[in-house]
Each structure stands twice: as structure tokens, then as C-alpha cells.
Amino acid sequence: MPIRSARGLAAGPLLLVPALLLAQGTRSLTVDDFFALKSVGAPSISPDGKSVAYTLGAPDLKKDRSSTRIWMAPFAGGEAIPMTAAGAPGSGPRWSPDGKYLGFRAARNGGETQVWTLNRLGGEADQLTDVKQGIEDFEWSPDGTRLLLTIRDPKPERPKADSGRAESPLPVVVDRLQFKRDNEGYLDRRRRHLYVFDVATRKLRQITSGDYDDGDGAWSPDGKLVAFSSNRTEEPDNNRNSDLWIVAADNTDRGQTLRRLTTNPGSDDSPAWSPDGKSIAYVTQTDVHAMWYATRQLAVIPAAGGTPALPLKALDRNVSSPRYTPDGAGILFLLEDSGEHHLARIPSGGGAMTRVVAGPRSVTAFDVAPDGRIAVRAAEARFPGEVFAVGAGGALARVTHANDSLLAAVRLAEVEDIHFKSRDGTEVEGFLYYPVGYDKSLRYPTLLRIHGGPVAQFEAAFNFEAQLFAANGYAVVTVNPRGSSGYGQAFSEAIFADWGNRDFEDVMAGVDYAVARGIADSARLGVGGSSYGGIRTDYVITKSTRFKGAISGASEALIVANYGHDHYQEEYEAELGLPWTNRAAYEKLSSFNNVERIVTPTLWMGGSEDWNVPILNSEQMYQSMKRLGRPTELVVYPGEHHGIARPSFQKDRLERYLAWYAKYVKGAAALSP
């Protein structure tokens, strides 16, 4: 698929929001605006197609936690109303098939997460389930009489302490190959299984079991069967396999009698039944060797079993969230493509793909009503995600207006979609954020910001951090180097066991592009990112002395030190081999081995409980730079995992970003976080 020509995202008309609204701002974006920005959840259309339920989330600085509230708006546009009270949490809203009730997940009154329901006509929420360990997800049955629940096994009963003796912590005992996971900690044998809950009697029945994790449960149209995804190989912790399975919804043997639908050694997940129950669409990853670099493809298989079809194999782009249209004539899905995300459709019987919602934007969720109406959540580079109704020809009509007041108050940076050549001639795409108030006669301090993943991409979507930097006088270059998704498997797989080589050249080419354009000041350059963005930052500062300031968040530097310490043992072995038999591969990729080359003042950051990319890495790099006498600082956020969740810490991190770059890139007096 050819790469599109460069275009200015903000230069042409914005289709999602009137350009007039964005032109009204009189002030620059600030750190505190992050806490005024509302996060709009995925749409859920009522069965009659007249209403859309969704969530609004926002970090609350005063309470120092994030909160989510359920709202409802008319599909045709109009005033939105809150369905849950302020301070009463709720997420994942789903309508009952008759449209009378809105089910959602919530943990209230100090309890575990349960399914709650709201009568559409009003009244208080009713707690529907009462599962001791809580539920993780739910789906209404087609007739609305039952729920399909995803529940993790309960913890073993704790022995009672002797009277008069304080209860002490129990030792952690693990016997699994995959024994740790970020946000979960040490893993035991408690697994996730599927249950059927009868709404009338409130009785619960387990329909899958075993030493496996089950998920992605989907009811058949007649409500008799459930399709789900599970890795049921002999050693699930030692491979990336998952297959589709089918179980009877009324089985009484806890799912001992199953029918395996797929046999692909890679991952098969996200099953969606056709309306007639004869076919199942799903997402498959067939290239096992390429692991996470492999393209995730759309697949269709007969529900009775057979050979799956891959109707879009030649497209070589990632798909997700497949769903049949109500008439069964087509399959809708999300399509990732070259810095964008679209809603696409393919005829269920085969044929050409069409893009239902396309253009320079990011569509990240959708829902379809029984009458075929579609709602999407979509964003653009200068417009945070909102819910839209999809009309004829892909025309979009606003449903939600969660961030209009903020957008009306601030001046946002112009954003340009840029294309340039890397050192070896490979064409690379990125997004260039111009400083607010840009004057083409001047050169500006410029930040190279790097995405994580590595299999991810910067998209034509709202990037608060980039906009914040632009509001503070920086040009910002965001690049999708090799390793990124959205450009085909070969582009992504180009860094397999070769991190920090071609992708380093690609991001540096983005900086050179901004300098050659007369926008970036080559004497005032900064770099930074988190997760693989931090890892790639480490490669940049060990290979280049061009940057005056760097921020490396949750990065990995001495690769072998992470084996058995983070949660990627299977991925390390698939990509690099065993560390005691292929140690050279680990050492080759370790930027720690070149730490003495770093002259860039570097701020190292991370969460103390991060088991994805442990703080060990940042500590080692900080300690080494400190020993070498280089300007450096380490910031550790207590109790935080890979993603920093506490609002006060989020604020602190943004302020430290600005202070570090101001001091070392701009050369300004340091700001106090």
C-alpha cells in the first residue's frame, strides 16, 4: 500500500469540529488543563437507536484519584444527561436487549466490582451480581435473561489467626513459568473463567474451568453457545497461542466438554458471531516467529468448524474489534493505517474493503444498533476524542461535547503530517507540532518525543503532552520509526532483535527534517519518551551528543538484568534466545554498556511497582551517570505501576518535564515542580 503524501492536518478543514471553535482560544495550554480534559468512553447505542451511553473520565486532583461517570445523549444530538451520580463510579455501560436497563461495572461501598443496572426511566442503580471476588466483565444474553460473566478464581480462605495474635502477611508461593505481571504482582494459579448468571433467580453457574485463562466471551445469536478465547496448550506460559473454543451455555460440567474451533499456533481472539450463527469473525496472528511484530488480521471461520478465511491478508495492516452488521451482509472493524485509525467494512461474502470513517483521524471505538445506526469515538490532532453518529458517506455528527469549553479557551498548536527519508532511503512518517504563535522567521527549541511499544504508532489524535510543549514555546517532532505498527509487518519487524539501530536512524532523520525546514534550532534539542520510548531515548543519548536535555521514563538498559525480573520472559526467549546461551544478543541491545558516552543531562523516571519495565533500569542508569559526574536526576513514584495513575503524580511529572527541558534545552532558570 503506498504511503500517502505529506499534508498539514490543521491547514485544511477539521471535519470533527468547526474550525471556528478552535480559533476562539485566547490563552496557552497549561499543566492544569490536563485535569480539565475529559476522557470520553466507547459508545453504546440503545436497541431503539435513539440514545448513546458512554463514560466521562477525568483525574481529580483534590481527591487524588481518577473517576468515571456514565452519561447518555440523544443519537440525533441534544443535551446529555448523567446516568450515575457524581462520585458514584461506573464503567463499561451496556444496554439490555429490550433497552429498559443499562448495565455497567462498578465497585461501590468498599466492595468488589459487580454488575449494576439502571432503569432507563430513572431511579437508583441496583446491584445485580454479588460475587465475592468481584467480576471483570459481562455481556447480556440475546434475550436479556442472563449475563455472561468473566470472573477470576477466588483467593484461598486464609487460616484464622490465633486469638490475641495480629494477622501477619502470608508468604508468596509461585510455581508458574510466567510468575509476575505488572498491576497484578506475583501470579498464582487463580485463573479467569466464564460464568452464566440468571438475572431473575440471581443464580451463578460456572461454564469453563481448568488451569487456563478464558476471555473474550461472546453469545451465539440463539443464546445456546458461547465462543471464547483461551490458551489451552500444555504450558500456556511458554507461548503466545490462543484459540477459539465453543462451549454450551447450559453445560453442567464446568466446561469439561468443549469444541476447539481454531488450531493456529499464533493468537486467535475477539470472536464475533454472524446474525445467523453460521460464521464467526475474529482476529488472528499467524506468524508465530514475528511475535508482536506480526500483523493482526481479520479471519472468518464456519461456526461448525472448518478452514478459516483471511479476506484482508494482502492488506498487511492491523485490524481489531470485528463485528457483523445487523443484516449479516458485512463485517465492521477498526483498521490501523499509517498514523490513522479508521472504521472499515468488508462484505461478509468477500469483496472490496471500504472505509466507513476515514481521513486524518483516529477512530478507537464503535457500536452498531439493531437498525444499523453506527456511533464512533473519534479524535483528530487538535481535537480530543468525542462520540459521533455516522451518517451517509461517512459524514459525522456530534453526539458529545465533553471538551468544548476547554477547546474554546485555549490556543492549540498547528500540527503537520510529515514524511521524510531515513538514512537508508526508507520513507518515514511523523507529526510536527509548531510552537503556539509560530513565527517562520525564527528557529525554535525542539523536542523529539518517542512513542512506546515499540509496536505502536503516533496517530492523528489529540496528544496533550505535545500540545503542552508547543504551548511552552517548543516545536515537537513525533516520529513513527521502524518497529511502529500501521505500516505493514516488514516495517514493524525491521527491528526484530535489532533495537536502537534502524529506529534510531529514523527518529534522528525526523530531527534533521525539522532542522532542514528552518523550524528547529539545532543548538537547542531535547529528547524523551516512556516505556519503549524511554528505551529508544537511551539509544539516542548513547549514540548522539546533539541533545541538550533528555527524559527517560520507564526505560530498559541492561537487558539481561530484566530476565526473570519483569514480565517478558517468553518474549525475550522468542526474540533474543536464552540469556545463558545467547548472551551476546542481550549485551548488543543494552544501552547500559555505553553509558559512559552519555553527555546529555538526563532525568530518569518510573514507578516503584512497575513490573513491565522495572525501576531497576532507571536506577542503574542514574547510578552510572552519577558516578561519571554527569548531570542527572532520578524520580521514583511510590506505589505506581507502568502507567502513572495518581493525579498528583501526573501533575508532578508534567511539571518536571517542563522544568527539565526549560533548564537544559532552553537554558532558562529551572522551574520548581
**Residues 586-603: pLDDT tens digits?**
999 999 999 999 999 999
What cell does 80 get? 446529555
pLDDT tens, residue by residue, 298-309: 999 999 999 999
Beta strands 44-45 and 475-480: pairing type? unpaired
Which of these ranges, 5-14, 226-235, 533-542, 657-666, has the smallest mean pLDDT? 5-14
Residues 482-492 have a mean pLDDT of 97
pLDDT tens, residue by residue, 339-391: 999 999 999 988 999 999 999 999 999 999 999 999 999 999 999 999 999 99
pLDDT at residue 19 is higher than 60? no
CA distances to 42, 227, 378, 402, 417 from 386, in Å: 9, 31, 6, 7, 22
Q: What integer pLDDT is reported at residue 156 of this predicted model?
A: 82
For residues 543 and 537, give the distance between their C-alpha atoms in angstroms, rounded to a whole number: 10
Are residues 413 and 435 in contact, defined by beta-carbon separation less than 8 angstroms?
A: yes
For residues 221 and 225, give the distance between their C-alpha atoms in angstroms, rounded to a whole number: 8
Q: How much of the chain, in percent, has pLDDT values that exceed 70?
A: 94
pLDDT range class, residue 168, cuts 50, 70, 90: confident
pLDDT at residue 332 is higher than 50? yes
Residues 614-639 have a mean pLDDT of 98
Are residues 505 and 499 in contact, defined by beta-carbon separation less than 8 angstroms?
A: no
pLDDT at residue 615 is higher than 80? yes
- Specify burial of residue 165 (Cβ count, 10 A radius: 0-12, 13-18, 19+): exposed
Residues 487-492 have a mean pLDDT of 97
pLDDT at residue 23 is higher than 60? no
For residues 206 and 608, give the distance between their C-alpha atoms in angstroms, rounded to a whole number: 37
Q: What integer pLDDT is reported at residue 306 of this predicted model?
A: 96
Q: What integer pLDDT is reported at residue 668 of this predicted model?
A: 65
pLDDT range class, residue 29, cuts 50, 70, 90: very high
Which residues on neighbouring strands pair with residue 420, listed in sequence order? 428
Beta strands 410-411 and 27-28: pairing type? parallel
**Phi, psi torsion values for 196, nearest 5 degrees:** -110, 130
For the chain, what is the mean pLDDT? 93
Q: What integer pLDDT is reported at residue 8 of this predicted model?
A: 43
pLDDT at residue 9 is higher than 80? no
Provide the edge-to-edge strand list for the sheet that holds 444-450. 7-8, 415-421, 427-433, 475-480, 444-450, 520-530, 549-553, 602-607, 632-637
Residues 554-559 have a mean pLDDT of 96
Tell me the longest C-alpha to C-alpha distance in the chain.
79
Residues 601-624 have a mean pLDDT of 97
Q: What integer pLDDT is reported at residue 157 of this predicted model?
A: 79
Beta strands 65-74 and 243-248: pairing type? unpaired
Overall fold of domain 413-666? Rossmann fold (3.40.50)
pLDDT range class, residue 671, cuts 50, 70, 90: very low
Are residues 379 and 402 in contact, defined by beta-carbon separation less than 8 angstroms?
A: no
Q: What integer pLDDT is reported at residue 165 of this predicted model?
A: 60
For residues 175 and 362, give the distance between their C-alpha atoms in angstroms, rounded to a whole number: 42
Torsion of CA 53, 16, 435, 503, to 10 degrees: 80
Please write down the HEC assignment for all residues of 12-63. Answer: CCCCCCCHHHHCCCCEECCHHHHHCCCEECCCEECCCCCEEEEEEEEEECCC
pLDDT tens, residue by residue, 70-87: 999 999 999 999 999 887
pLDDT range class, residue 161, cuts 50, 70, 90: low
For residues 458 and 510, give the distance between their C-alpha atoms in angstroms, rounded to a whole number: 13
Q: Return the amino acid letter for 232.
A: R
pLDDT range class, residue 203, cuts 50, 70, 90: very high
pLDDT at residue 69 is higher than 50? yes
Q: Decide which of 20 and 576 is more confident.
A: 576
